[in-house]
Amino acid sequence: MDNLNDGLARFQRDVFPAKADLFAHLASNHHPHTLFIGCSDARVVPELITGTEPGDLFVIRTAGNLVPAYSPEADGVAASIEYAVAVLGIKDVVICGHSACGAMTALAEGIDLSLAPAVSNWLRHADASQARTPIRGDVPRLVKENVLAQLANLATHPSVAKALAAGELNLHGWVYDIGSGSVEQLQGTGHQSTAAL
Ligand code: ZN
């Protein structure tokens, strides 16, 4: 906790004053351009890897960057998606998987999750990801197929379906490599060029 308090002191002393105009603007404005859905993994930091500023990204992070398919029941992920798309009017959505993902590794390698029943249940939202992956144990392939499967889940949300039908929303699938900092942009999602970061 000392690290966090030291960091907070540095933020207030150095970072905040340097961006005082931006923070003054953000105090009464919230117009992010992109919904970034990433893994909760501590090594995947959306604003850092995209070079974005406070106010740019609306962020949802879940274990395995999973997006449950739409259900009318109360769901925090669904509510955040709907708010970003229907209320804030964001124009782009990135679902970002990553190398060495613990969630994908657990699935690919069939790790016993009987002591983590909530994790086990949550990972059922990757059933289609596993079904799309031909070779059991192939973590990199599962990471990619999972991003594509979660993009399909995302499109089942009414706010997303509506914006897609109106041509007002672009979906992008990324895989971030922790060791190199590179991003592979998956074919068939968003623009075809590889994002170089
Ligand atoms: Zn992960």
Fold of the 31-186 domain = Beta-carbonic Anhydrase; Chain A (3.40.1050)
Q: What is the pTM of this model?
A: 0.93
Strand pairing of 34-39 and 57-62?
A: parallel
Quick: pLDDT tens for 108-131.
999 999 999 999 999 999 999 999
Q: How far is the CA of 196 from the centre of ligand 1 (A)?
A: 21
Residue 33: per-residue pLDDT: 97
Q: How far is the CA of 96 from the centre of ligand 1 (A)?
A: 9
Q: How far is the CA of 166 from the centre of ligand 1 (A)?
A: 32
Token pair 């613990």: residue = 102
What's the average model confidence in pLDDT over 171-192? 88
**Domain parsing of the chain, residue ranges:** 1-29, 31-186
pLDDT at 196 over 80: no
Residue 190: per-residue pLDDT: 66
Q: Do you know the residue count of the chain? A: 197
